[in-house]
Structure 1
């Protein structure tokens, strides 16, 4: 009986433990940050909500190298159909951002490019087809270090 009570208490407490608290990131946010970060690249995700729903949002995503943050994306929305996965497709109704800021190009440790391989470019075979209905960014800002002068624009496709 005690084991059943302990298992029930842990099961009920697990969703609360996985939530984003003020001093800690949630389990899924931490997993994504760790998976996307690498030596010389740190990915930070703030305000991740709706991970298990059909509408996920991120308040802010930043990517930094050893010099500092070079990319900031604010107000990310991913609106997708979970049921479409049952038919072997990923249907994304909206993939958008309020603001994308690329202040500079990332610094790489090894400026030498790898030797080119013979053959054409091809996307890898994915277990599902991907259909994206709408991609948009209300404001895109490129810093002076990217193209030699500051550039602003938007994207809607």
Structure 2
């Protein structure tokens, strides 16, 4: 339980720090945020809360080591989209996003993971309150807004 709390706090800190990032255009891939030194805390928290032995789909081999894949953590989970919106000055429900990210990373693997943050279809992308949703590695219909 402590590891998931640390993961949640790491995401909240990341999103708070994203306010200080230069505005990241939507056309830029998730490589840009993944290179920020502050993202390392999120990676370390994922390792603690979602070990490779239980969540292998979050990991990839890099230079012989198994590490969380930034493309999954930012792209598939849609945390990268939320990061962009924060960097652009949008008001987003960071508490809900952090909770959904923790659920995304720690849910038991039954099928391919899908993200819960869909900026094109979410009202929070346009300045209104985003309804909290439950995220699990199930089809997008269970993660909709």
Confirm or deny a common fold (TM above 0.5).
no
More strand by percentage: 1
RCO greater where, 1 or 2, for CA within 8 Å and sep 6 or more?
Answer: 2
Larger radius of gyration: 1
More helix by percentage: 2
